[in-house]
Amino acid sequence: MNRLKQPLPWQRNIPSVDRIVRELAEINLPRALVVAVVRRELAGLRGRKVDEHVDQGQVMRRIRCALEVLRRQKIQPVINATGIIIHTNLGRSPMGDRVVQTISSAASNFTNLEYDLGAGERGSRGLYVENALAVLCLAEAAAVVNNCAAALLLVLRHFTSDTARREVVISRGELVQIGGGFRIPEILESAGAVLREIGTTNKTAIEDYRRAIGPDTAMILKVHHSNFYMEGFVESPACRQIAALARRAKVPFLADLGSGAVFDTTELGPEREPMPQSVLADGADLVCFSGDKLLGGPQAGIIVGSAAYISALKKNPMSRALRCDKLILAALEATVDLLLSGELDQIPVRSMMNADVAQLRKRAGQIILALSDLPLRAEIGAGCARVGGGALPRTRIESVTVDLQTRSVRQFEQRLRCACPPVIGYCENDCLRLDLRTVFPTQDTLLIAAIRGTIQSVE
């Protein structure tokens, strides 16, 4: 302790925290954060061997580097030029102006979030959006929680709370991992359910379900594969068959759809993403899906289906812990309203899916023209955009890229990622490829400016 208070001879080289912070006046971060970084870096230096020479320039470079890392961690708009529309790492669905206005006014005002205006007393949250979602999905009722993982957890918890009936029947082919760290068997376990695996990885028959159902069965779960597909010697019974079995055995049947397409995805290609309304029509009691995947709204978990089950789920104490805040509910309301009135151009993920290739090509031409004086080669390329969000893993949407070649493509890609705003593309065939399907047309000038700034710093 004492050792640190008394400056040792070698420490005279190290400027004071105050002096360093003053030198960093241009850094646009709260002073307290800058001070903390400076202290941390200096403490690291003090830990070094006493006879080591401390170069002040080097100290400042280290500190600036650490501050730059900190700045990059801040949530900021990025230009998604990956061609992956619902990009989980880039925040999934962006929201359109109309939805954003709703969020903004809910954020800056008091709202009737839990207030019944007619009765003048406490009401329940989410009534409007739940009703609208039920209409959209042709369901009896709907409930909304934080995300689809939370929806699954709530349903599993609810139906396995009776210690005598804890088994959740699920096909071995559906014990999948979705994204980072979301594994179906682990979710089941953490919900207190007992896994009753049936069938094999590639084949599960209705007979397997029939044999597994017994007095210990709490529910049947079907999980959509989402981000992968199996082909060849595969078999799994139709939802309708499982639903009929569940009905006879009087056990609830939940289908976790993940994306939950509320529109027919065969508009985009041959792959068909299951739709909540058809899975319910096939007899599933409950269906859950995400708000920020194909629906194109904010992060949320939507549960639709039987009115009796939904009402019981909403009374479960866990619902309280998983409930959404007013901003999300306002955004979801606005999104579902747009879907119900068919104003798809207001939902960015939908307009990106539907963007015209000729239009993308025209933009690519304009961008390339604006870069023509720079020391790089820029060409129009053919891109393969994807839906992302774990939906339609085989579907490729024809797209257009701006392909950039420079002396060091890797270095250029990395610098562009740290530009203002950051631009995320992908390297292929010694090119940095920027897919325009996922770039908002209003971002083209920003994209050009980011490339200009970056090329000047690399060359």
Ligand X SMILES: *Cc1c(COP(=O)(O)O)cnc(C)c1O
> Least Å distance between CB 140 and ligand X?
22
> Least Å distance between CB 148 and ligand X?
3
Task: Name which of 224 and 363 has its Cβ closer to ligand X.
Answer: 224
Task: Name which of 128 and 182 has its Cβ closer to ligand X.
Answer: 182
With residue 159 as reference, give the H or E element that holds it.
helix 148-159
Task: Name which of 34 and 144 has its Cβ closer to ligand X.
Answer: 144
Residue ranges in contact with ligand X by CB under 6 A: 147-149, 178, 182, 223-224, 226, 256, 258-259, 290, 301, 390
For 325-339, the DSSP string reads: -HHHHHHHHHHHHHH
Pairing of strands 397-405, 377-388: antiparallel
Distance in angstroms (rounded) separating the CA atoms of residues 99 and 436? 23
Task: Name which of 148 and 284 has its Cβ closer to ligand X.
Answer: 148
- Is 304 within 8 Å of 287 (Cβ atoms)? yes
What contacts 111, CB < 8 A, 6 or more positions away?
Answer: 326, 330
> Least Å distance between CB 116 and ligand X?
30
Angle between helices 97-108 and 326-340 in degrees, nearest 10: 150
Pairing of strands 377-388, 84-86: parallel
- Is 438 within 8 Å of 80 (Cβ atoms)? yes
Task: Name which of 86 and 419 has its Cβ closer to ligand X.
Answer: 86
At 86, phi and psi to the nearest 5?
-95, 85
For 46-95, the DSSP string reads: HTS-TT----HHHHHHHHHHHHHHHHHHS----EE-SSEEE-GGGTS---
Task: Name which of 148 and 262 has its Cβ closer to ligand X.
Answer: 148
Alpha helices for 181-238 (secondary structure H): 184-190, 206-212
> Least Å distance between CB 83 and ligand X?
20
Closest residue to bound ligand X by CB: 258
> Least Å distance between CB 98 and ligand X?
23
Angle between helices 326-340 and 127-136 in degrees, nearest 10: 30
> Least Å distance between CB 197 and ligand X?
17
> Least Å distance between CB 151 and ligand X?
8
Task: Name which of 224 and 415 has its Cβ closer to ligand X.
Answer: 224
> Least Å distance between CB 157 and ligand X?
15
Distance in angstroms (rounded) separating the CA atoms of residues 172 and 85? 30
How is residue 259 written in tokens? 């994306």
Task: Name which of 256 and 444 has its Cβ closer to ligand X.
Answer: 256
